[in-house]
Structure 1
Amino acid sequence: MKKVRIIGVPEHFNLPWHLPIEEGAFTERGIDLQWRDIPEGTGKMCQLLEKRETDLAIILTEGIIKSITEGNPSKIIQTYIGTPLLWGIHVAANSEYSTIDDLKGTKAAISRYGSGSHLMAYVNAKNQGWDPSTLQFEIINNLDGAIEGLTSGKADYFMWEHFTTKPLVDQGVFRRLGYCPTPWPCFLLVGTNKFLKENGSTVDHILEIINMYTLEFRNIPSIDRTLSNRYGQQLEDIQQWMGITQWSQSQLPVDTLTAVQETLIELELINEKLPPETFLY
C-alpha cells in the first residue's frame, strides 16, 4: 500500500475527496490516501509543501502561484475547482463600518501572509482604487481567530469564502459588506516536485479516481442534503453554491496562469513572470 499525504481546508469544496477515501476507492488501487484538514488555509499549506510535510494539497490558485514563484518546489497537477471563489468582505456585527468604502485605511484580518485572505485584500484594494501599499494586516490564523479579532477590534474586516462564513452572518457574528470574487479558477491540485517525480503512476491513479468523482458528484442522490448536514450549512445555501461551482478535470490553462502572474506583479506581490514549465506538471 502506497501512503500518500494530502491536505486541504475543512470546507464543503473537498467532499469529493472524502467520499472516495471513505468508500475505499483509493485503497482498491493500493493507495493509502491520508487526508489532513488545514483550517489555517493556503499560507500554511504552502509551508507544508515547502517542508515536504505533505505530498499533495488542494490549494488556492493565487497563493500557490506566488509561493512557487518564490521557490516552493511544487507543481500544479491540474485545476480542481474551475470557477471563481466568492470572497465575502466581513466586519463584526457591531462594527461602525457599513460600506466597503468605509474600510479604506483600516486593518484586514488575515490567516497568515501568503494566504488567500492576504492576497485577496490586495485584489479588493485594486478593485476599490485604493493604494495597496497602505494596506494593514493582523494575523488571526483561522476562522475562530477572525471571530475573536473582529469582535475585539484587533482587526476591522476579514475576507473569507461566502458560504463558509454565511452561518456566522446568519448568527449575527459578522456582517457582510460585499463581495470580491477571484478573477480566476480558485482551487488547484498541487504536488511536491519530489513526490511527482517519484510517483507518476500513483498520481495517474489518483487523478483517475478524483476526476470520476467530481464528474459524477452532482448526480449523487441527495448530495445537497449530505453537504448541508456535514458542513452545518442551510440547504438553500448549498444549492446556490452548487449552482455556481464547477469542478475541473484538466490542467490550468497557460493564459490563466499568465493572467494570475500579471495581476500579482501589478500588485507588487511577485517580482517577475516565470515560464509555464516552472508551475505546471
Structure 2
Amino acid sequence: MKEVNIGGVPEHFNLAWYLTLKNGEYKDEGINLRWHDYYGGTGAMCKALRDKDIDIAVILTEGIIKDIIAGNPSKIVQTYVQSPLIWGIHVAAKSKYQTIDDLKGTKAAISRYGSGSHLMAYINAEYNNWDLENDLDFEVIKNLDGAVEGLTKGKADYFLWEKFTTKPLVDNGIFRNIGHCPTPWPCFVIAAREDFIENENETLKTILNIINNTTKDFKLIPSIDKTIANRYEQKLEDVQEWLGLTEWSQEVIDKDTTMKIQKELFSLDIIPEIIDYKKLVYKL
C-alpha cells in the first residue's frame, strides 16, 4: 500500500475528497491517501509542500504560482475548481466601517504573507484604485479563528475569506460582509512536489482519475446540498447558491490563464518575474 499525503482547506470545495476517501476508492487501488486539513490555507500548504509534509495540495491558483516562482519545488498538475473564488470582504459586526472605500488605508487581517488573503488584499486594492504602498497594511492572524479574534479586538480592520465559508459568522453577528472580490481566474488547482511527480507518476494519475470521476458528477449526487449544509453548518439556500456558482474541472490549467495570473501578480509587485509555463505546470 503506497502512502500519500494530501492537504487542503477544510471547506465545502473539498467534500469530493472526503467522499472518495470514505468510499475507500484509493485503497482499492493500493493507495493509502491521507488527508490533512490546513486551517491556515495556502501559505501553510506551500510550507508543507516545501517541508515534504504533504505530496499533493489542493491550493489557491495564485498562491501556488507565487510560491513556485519563489522556489517551491512543486508543479501544478490540474485545475480543480474552474470557477472564480468569491472572496467576502468582512469587518467586525460593530465596526464603524460601512463600505469598501472606508477601508482604504486601514489594516487587513491575513493568514500569513503569501497567502490567498494577503494576495487578494492587493487585488481588492487594485480594483478600488488604492495606492498599493500607502493604503495597505497587514496583521497576520493565522486562520479564521484568528481573524475572529483580530477583528473583534480591533487588531485588524477587515478580512478577505471565501464568502460562503464565512457566511455562518455573518449570520451569527460576528462579522459583517461589506462587499465581494472575485478572483479573475480559476480558483483552485492541484499541485504536487516535483520529486513525487517523478517517482510516483502512475500513483498521481490514479488519484486524479478517482477524484475527477467524482467531481464531474458532483452536483448530481442525491441530496448533496443537504449533505454540505449539515457537514459545514451552512444554510441550505447558501449551499444551493454556491453549487450554482461553482464548476469543477478535470483539465490542466492552460498557458493563457497562467500568463494572466502572472501578469497581474507582477503588476502588483507580488512576484519578481514572469516564468515559462513549463516551470509552473506538469502535464501528466
The equivalent residue for 1:60 is 60
Normalising by structure 2, we get a TM-score of: 0.98
Matches within 5 A, 1:109-120: 109-120=109-120
Q: What is the distance in 2 between the residues matched to 1:181 and 1:58?
A: 19
AA aligned opposite 2:165: T
Q: Deviations over 1:189-232 (max 9, x none)?
A: 00000111000110111111010000111111101000000010
Match of 2:146 in 1: 145
Write the letter of the residue equivalent to 1:115. S
Secondary structure at 1:154 match in 2 = coil
Give me the whole-angstrom Cα distance separating, in 2, the residues matched to 1:122 and 1:133.
10
Deviations 1:122-158 (A, max 9, x none): 0000000001122110000000000000000000000
Q: CA deviation at 1:53?
A: 1.1
CA distance in 2 between counterparts of 1:57 and 1:259 reads 22
Find the aligned partners of 2:237 and 2:36 in 1 and give their Cα distance: 28
Which position in structure 2 is the counterpart of 1:174?
Answer: 175
Calculate percent identity across the aligned residue pairs. 58
User: What secondary structure, in the 3-state scheme, does the structure 2 residue paired with 1:108 have?
Assistant: strand
**2:247 equivalent to 1:246:** yes
- For the residues of structure 1 that align with 2:205 and 2:179, how far apart are their CA atoms? 40
In the alignment, the residues of structure 1 paired with residue 151 and residue 250 of structure 2 have an alpha-carbon distance, to the nearest angstrom, of 38
CA drift of 1:83 comes to 0.4
Query: How far apart are the structure 2 equivalents of 1:207 and 1:270?
Result: 29
1:156 alignment partner in structure 2? 157
Q: Distance in 1 between matches of 2:198 and 2:185?
A: 28
- Residues in 2 aligned to 1:133 and 1:43: alpha-carbon distance in whole angstroms: 22
Root-mean-square deviation (Å): 0.5
Q: CA deviation at 1:41?
A: 0.3
1:94 aligns with 2:94: yes
Question: CA separation in 2, counterparts of 1:106 and 1:249?
Answer: 40
* Alpha-carbon distance, 1:22 to partner: 0.6
- Structure 2 partner of 1:41: 41
Alignment partners' CA distance in 2, 1:276 and 1:163: 32
Alignment of 1:208-219 (within 5 A): 208-219=209-220
The yes-or-no answer on 1:228 pairing with 2:232 is: no
TM-score of the superposed pair, with normalisation by structure 1: 0.99
AA matched with 2:164: F
SS at match of 2:159: strand
Determine the C-alpha separation between the residues in 1 that align with 2:208 and 2:144: 30
The CA deviation at 1:177 is: 0.6
Q: What is the count of residue pairs matched by the alignment?
A: 281
Gaps of at least 5 residues in structure 1 are none
> Residue type matched to 1:45 in 2?
M
Aligned to 2:276: 275
Name the amino acid aligned to 2:114. Answer: G
| Aligned-partner SS, 1:227 | helix
1:136 corresponds to: 137
Q: Which amino acid aligns with 2:106?
A: T
Amino acid at match of 1:167: P
